[in-house]
Structure 1
């Protein structure tokens, strides 16, 4: 009998990798804040969000803002807090700054603020359904698709910054360990055990019979990964297939 291991993002997170969408959005804000340096205008924008410095005697552009604010930069000019924290600080000073996010990105940020996580695909789908029934649906859907494509491009950039050279012996051991008959469905248990060559009546004493007990080792294991990283591929060997 073979074993199928279905792998999702929890697998990467179990390796300590920051692969959640919240991690990705936090990285996005780090990039936005770092880009303030050298921006000699009062506008910092992309397809998702526009940040504007309103008329101010203290600062005239984002480059000045970046170097005047010691609360998020040290004397060497390096950030001392996350870009997302800087964004929140900007939002909290509405007299000095204006923030204009597209509805799609606004919903992403709201989900992170209220739930601590976000499902970007589902947020996109909900806006797509709403947009398709609107008067200017073609225009709105076109903009929505551009915003999603922009996030996809940024996600690729982010994933390329993640070090995936990690390995856990305990997870490999679990993949190769014996099949547990208690995990079989009630209806399928007899059929599965027959396929292995074990009588269901032998289960009570099977641990005392090494020959039969070892039949519970899977012949082959397939790792079916839905992740954006190739972390699971490191567990591939002669008896383990990676897909």
Structure 2
């Protein structure tokens, strides 16, 4: 039996890299606000900030802007009680900012799809194309800023972490009590490992180098990489099972599909390599730091419901308040199954699951 290992954004966050959507937006607004100090205004494809008519802007009007306080500063501006005015040009950015304290990347991709859907319904066919092009252009702009931000984060990252605990989980034996959909007489090492990396960053590379010396391994940047070597970054919506998606297929408007992941996957070999792996042999799935949200449902449904998938083991996140996200993960995983009975057979119960080991720096 093989093992398919899903690596999500939580893996980067565990290594101290600020790759959450909130981190990115905080950095974006801090840069925008710094421009206010220099030129009394800022504008791009997504927002415009300017000093209200009849006012002069001085440095002491606001505390020094940093990523740590920029979101609170923007919230204050939106109350209308400052001399600055903020206009959102992008409906997507406006809606996502309203939910910034709890929004994850998968939620942003779903918000993008909802914005497309709302735009399609709000405008007649004569104006629809141009409005949808505008939404897509704004997502392109957001994506460009994200890639620039992540490149800076990656350039300052030092992978000086003790890796034994995580590597031990990746390469551990598959135990009979973790599998009920097929019979295992005894524990066995996986024949091969397939790392399905959803991150654009290279954080996982060092772990991969260690694992492949122990077990035959392959690494797939399913969403591309920052340098483009493993494909250009893929960002958009990936739930073709959504009933509203069928509306898009009835429209003669190809602009609706420009950021649909299934079409982005066809631009490189990454998805094809995944399909070859899941078709080749039985496998167990391990999940590290991935939300399993609906924005990747087309892919995750194909992985989880495939007859060769025999077991799904969650490495859950243990929170500071003593709770964990195991149950929330099972909710998300269930949405990728049409056969709920099969889901309950494949997901390894909490008693046999374990917390994702948190990486510790070598010098600690």
The two structures have a TM-score, normalised by structure 1, of: 0.75
Deviation at 1:117, TM superposition (A): 4.0
Matched position secondary structure for 1:18: coil
Aligned residue among 146, 153, 158 for 1:165 = 158
Partner of 1:104: 92
For each residue in 1:165-188, what CA deviation from the matched residue of structure 2 results, as whole angstroms up to 9, or x when unmatched? Answer: 33432111111112122221x222
Aligned 8 A contact 2:30 2:67 in 1:
no
Aligned residue among 126, 131, 149 for 1:140 = 131
Deviation at 1:68, TM superposition (A): 2.5
**Alpha-carbon distance in structure 1 between the residues aligned to 2:191 and 2:112:** 42
Task: Work out the number of aligned pairs and report it.
Answer: 206
Deviation at 1:83, TM superposition (A): 1.9
Deviation at 1:80, TM superposition (A): 8.8
Partner of 2:324: none
For each residue in 1:160-218, what CA deviation from the matched residue of structure 2 results, as whole angstroms up to 9, or x when unmatched? Answer: 1114433432111111112122221x222x1xx2xxxxx3xxx5xxxxxxxxx5xx222
Deviation at 1:145, TM superposition (A): 0.9
**Range with greater deviation from structure 2 (226-235 or 79-88):** 79-88
Deviation at 1:230, TM superposition (A): 1.9
**Alpha-carbon distance in structure 2 between the residues aligned to 1:225 and 1:46:** 32
Residue 151 in structure 1 maps to residue 138 in structure 2: no
Deviation at 1:52, TM superposition (A): 2.2
Greater RCO structure (CA 8 Å; 6+ sep): 1
Matched position secondary structure for 2:86: strand
**Alpha-carbon distance in structure 1 between the residues aligned to 2:141 and 2:63:** 27
Partner of 2:48: 50
**Alpha-carbon distance in structure 2 between the residues aligned to 1:80 and 1:154:** 15
Partner of 2:78: 91
**Alpha-carbon distance in structure 1 between the residues aligned to 2:3 and 2:205:** 16
Aligned 8 A contact 1:108 1:120 in 2:
yes
The two structures have a TM-score, normalised by structure 2, of: 0.52
**Alpha-carbon distance in structure 1 between the residues aligned to 2:109 and 2:20:** 13
Partner of 2:175: 180
**Alpha-carbon distance in structure 2 between the residues aligned to 1:221 and 1:140:** 44
Deviation at 1:96, TM superposition (A): 2.4
**Alpha-carbon distance in structure 2 between the residues aligned to 1:120 and 1:110:** 12
Partner of 1:68: 60
Structure showing greater Rg: 1
Sort the Cα spacing of 1:72 and 1:95 in 2 relative to 1 into closer, same or farther, 3 A.
Answer: closer
CA RMSD between the two structures = 2.3
Aligned 8 A contact 1:111 1:117 in 2:
no
